[in-house]
């Protein structure tokens, strides 16, 4: 079922992004892929045609459902390289459309799983294992190695940020969940509907 194309004099992607998971703005293009991109956008929550700075653009709003995530991923794969394509989340512009594609792909994979947590949640390597992988353990004295051995492993509620496990600081003025949320913001995946930073926890010491 196609979404009716709404005509608007001036598009407001920042405002629109406050009422949906993400909002994608893409231009009218001479690309051979434009008709298909427009057809994809018509399958989303809302589609508007209007202007930004006097030029014709389309604004597609994506709902928090698996179908829209899959369509949005396909839409961005066609349009991310076009000049003028922009993505907005919660009133802010995302710095990279390709990072948004990565999150949409991860989210859609999770939604195909019987238990999304089986996809999303990751237990990181123990700090000793990480040190050995980086060869840093070769230069450690006994006290440093023992201190490292006592550090915990964490269950991360997001596989996209689990690789940044060295950012957690026990003595930081912000809580561990808040540090995780800040890490997700820096890497543009904080908006994933399945991301629950409060679920991080130490699982082994």
Instruction: List the chain pLDDT tens, one digit each, 205 residues.
Output: 567 678 877 899 999 999 999 999 999 999 999 999 999 999 998 999 999 888 999 999 999 888 899 999 999 999 999 999 999 999 999 988 999 999 999 999 999 999 999 999 998 765 544 544 454 545 665 566 566 666 677 889 999 988 776 667 778 899 989 998 999 998 899 999 999 999 998 886 5
Residues paired with 49 in a beta bridge: 7, 58
178 three-class SS = helix
Q: Give Cα 80 to chain centroid, integer Å.
A: 15
Looking at residue 192, its pLDDT comes to: 94
Distance from C-alpha of 164 to C-alpha of 156, rounded to nearest angstrom: 10
Domain residue spans of the chain: 5-111, 116-204
Supply the pTM of this predicted model: 0.81
């Amino acid at each position: 079922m196609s979404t009716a194309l709404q005509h608007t004099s001036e598009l407001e992607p920042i405002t629109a992004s406050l009422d949906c998971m993400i909002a994608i703005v893409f231009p009218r293009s001479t690309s051979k892929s434009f008709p298909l991109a427009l057809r994809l956008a018509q399958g989303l929550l809302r589609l508007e045609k209007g202007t930004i700075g006097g030029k014709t653009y389309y604004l597609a709003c994506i709902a928090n459902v698996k179908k829209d995530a899959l369509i949005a991923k396909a839409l961005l794969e066609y349009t991310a390289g076009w000049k003028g394509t922009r993505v907005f989340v919660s009133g802010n512009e995302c710095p990279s459309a390709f990072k948004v594609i990565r999150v949409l792909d991860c989210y859609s994979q999770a939604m195909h799983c019987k238990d999304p947590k089986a996809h999303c949640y990751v237990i990181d390597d123990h700090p000793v294992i990480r040190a050995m992988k980086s060869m840093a353990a070769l230069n450690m004295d006994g006290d440093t190695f023992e201190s490292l051995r006592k550090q915990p492993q964490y269950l991360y509620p997001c596989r996209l940020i689990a690789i940044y496990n060295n950012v957690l600081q026990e003595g930081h003025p912000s809580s561990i969940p808040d540090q995780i949320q800040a890490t997700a913001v820096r890497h543009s995946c904080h908006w994933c509907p399945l991301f629950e930073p409060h679920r991080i926890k130490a699982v082994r010491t």
